[in-house]
């Protein structure tokens, strides 16, 4: 069993907890409001806008034993830079106020998740950052494309409102294969820190979903 497969198995409980967030079940059953989708995009903006700064920090913090990761980090930066603007475009296409989101503050769960990522890089083992990559990309693969279809069906929004979900649902499938190769090359101590951080990020990312507003039930 590869380390990536071990990581999937070892985080099964944490992943199940994230996927059990009520707003996710609502969404996959077509029970979603425009407000819920816009709230999701807003919080996605607030963590995705840190992806490039986090990756740049990671590249500078890698110790010599992990110097071989620098090329991969540079490639990640090249692919991820500017994706927060896709989200703002989606917000505008869905009828939201992109400028207001750009100038807003994140809700506490998103802010804590980003803060923990920076803390890993500045205080902990930089290799542990790949636990966040594992969680965000794995969740995207599991949910993004299906969620986009359900939301679009429920709200009759244009394709232009789903560039973030649909692009990442496809792009992250490619990233996952690459991530598995990178994790396999790490020494056991670094792999252990990736596992620990993945468990934490599943909790923190799940909190982001649990803080989103849900569609009000209809009693008619």
Tell me: the pLDDT tens digits for 72-111?
Answer: 999 999 988 999 999 999 999 999 999 999 999 999 999 9
- C-alpha–C-alpha distance, residues 151 and 128, integer Å: 33
Domain range list for the chain: 3-210
CB atoms within 10 A of CB 157: 18
- Six token digits for residue 114: 């980003």
Give the CATH class of 3-210. Answer: mainly alpha
Long-range contacts made by residues 13-16, C-beta under 8 angstroms, separation at least 24?
14/198, 14/199, 14/202, 14/203, 14/206, 15/138, 15/139, 15/202
- C-alpha–C-alpha distance, residues 84 and 48, integer Å: 6
In this structure, are residues 105 and 45 in contact, taking their beta carbons and an 8 Å threshold? no
Residue 169's pLDDT band (cuts 50, 70, 90): low
Range in 153-157, 163-167, 191-195 the model is least confident about: 163-167
Question: What is the pLDDT averaged over residues 13-35?
Answer: 93
pLDDT 10s digits, 117-132: 999 999 989 999 999 9
Biggest alpha carbon–alpha carbon distance for the chain: 64
- pLDDT for 177 equals 84
- Six token digits for residue 91: 């917000």
Q: Is this prediction's pTM over 0.85?
A: yes
| 95-116 b/e (C-beta count within 10 Å ≥ 16 → b) | ebebeebbeeebbebbeebbeb
């Amino acid at each position: 069993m590869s380390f990536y497969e071990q990581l999937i198995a070892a985080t099964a409980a944490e992943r199940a907890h994230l996927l059990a967030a009520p707003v996710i079940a609502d969404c996959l059953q077509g029970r979603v409001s425009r407000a819920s989708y816009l709230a999701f995009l807003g919080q996605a903006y607030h963590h995705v806008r840190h992806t490039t700064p986090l990756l740049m920090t990671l590249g500078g913090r890698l110790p010599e034993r992990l110097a071989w990761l620098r090329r991969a980090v540079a490639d990640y930066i090249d692919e991820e830079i500017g994706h927060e603007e896709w989200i703002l475009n989606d917000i505008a296409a869905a009828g939201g106020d992109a400028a207001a989101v750009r100038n807003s503050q994140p809700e506490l769960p998103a802010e804590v998740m980003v803060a923990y990522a920076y803390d890993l890089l500045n205080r902990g083992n930089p290799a542990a950052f790949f636990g966040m990559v594992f969680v965000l990309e794995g969740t995207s693969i599991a949910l993004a494309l299906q969620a986009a279809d359900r939301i679009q069906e429920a709200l009759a929004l244009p394709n232009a409102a789903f560039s973030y979900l649909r692009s990442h649902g496809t792009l992250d499938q490619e990233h996952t294969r690459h991530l598995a190769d990178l994790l396999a090359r790490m020494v056991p101590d670094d792999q252990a820190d990736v596992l620990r951080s993945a468990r934490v990020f599943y909790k923190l990312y799940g909190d982001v979903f649990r803080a989103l507003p849900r569609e009000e039930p209809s009693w008619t």
